[in-house]
Amino acid sequence: MDRMLVVVFDTEKKAYEGKQALLQLDGEGSIVVYAYAVVAKDADGTVTVRQSDDPGPLGTLVGTSLGSLIGLLGGPVGLAVGASLGLVAGSTVDLSNARVGGDFVDDVSKQLRPHRFAVVAEVQEDWTTPVDTRMEAAGGTVFRRALSDVKETLDEEDTAAMQADIAQLKAEHAQARADRKAKLQEKINQLDSRIQARLEKAKEQREAAEQRAKAKIAILKNKAAALKAKAAQAGDVVTD
């Protein structure tokens, strides 16, 4: 299962130890780490990225589920999370991009207080014991949430509602006096612009989801090939 993982630590040293333990689990084949970052919550509430695998197999953090979650953890005063990574206020930082619930962000934010650190990672794990055991031993508090699919139902319902409004306005426009037609046409144009913007955003989300899926498949294939090669070198019998 693909999950968002956040492990909060009291010190930066422990956070790096936690990151190393996470990568060791990946190397052992217990989990798959798609992307990660070590972050710090500064005194003013700003979240800064101290280290990441950027540019990793999923590309830069900008626009990814991981990058969006990091931005959300900064809260309203902490959306600038590292200019060197391009993650600044105005980036696409919202729950739909992070693909987690607002309650998850709230739970993590309560633990990730100023002067604390965290390892944030997008992972695949079949069971939670390996990560929990290693992270707890390192002094970390673990939060995890399964990544949701891109939710299109609500947007589709909103778009349908706006299209219905446009149909009604057009019907009124056909019957309206000349002085009223201009105002009705303005409303029609405004709704049409909103619909086009929503459709464009939905298209971008689908394309991003397809790119993520392809990148993850490539990661899994590479790891499987590496494990097979390692087993062959150890003299084990490997079959396809």
Res 154: pLDDT: 46
- The DSSP line for 46-84 is -EEEEEE--SBTTB-STTSHHHHHHHHHT-TT-----GG
Distance (Å, whole) CA 67 – CA 55 = 12
Against a cut of 0.75, is the pTM above it? Answer: no
Q: DSSP secondary-structure letter at 196?
A: H
**171: phi > 0 → left, psi -120 to 50 → alpha, else beta; which?**
alpha
- Residues 101-158 have pLDDT tens digits of 788 888 999 999 999 999 999 888 888 889 999 999 999 999 988 876 545 444 666 6
- Residue located via tokens 């390192």: 138
Cβ distance 134 to 119 under 8 Å? Answer: no
Sign of dihedral through CA atoms 9, 14, 15, 18? negative
Per DSSP, what are the bridge partners of residue 3? 123, 146
Res 229: pLDDT: 82
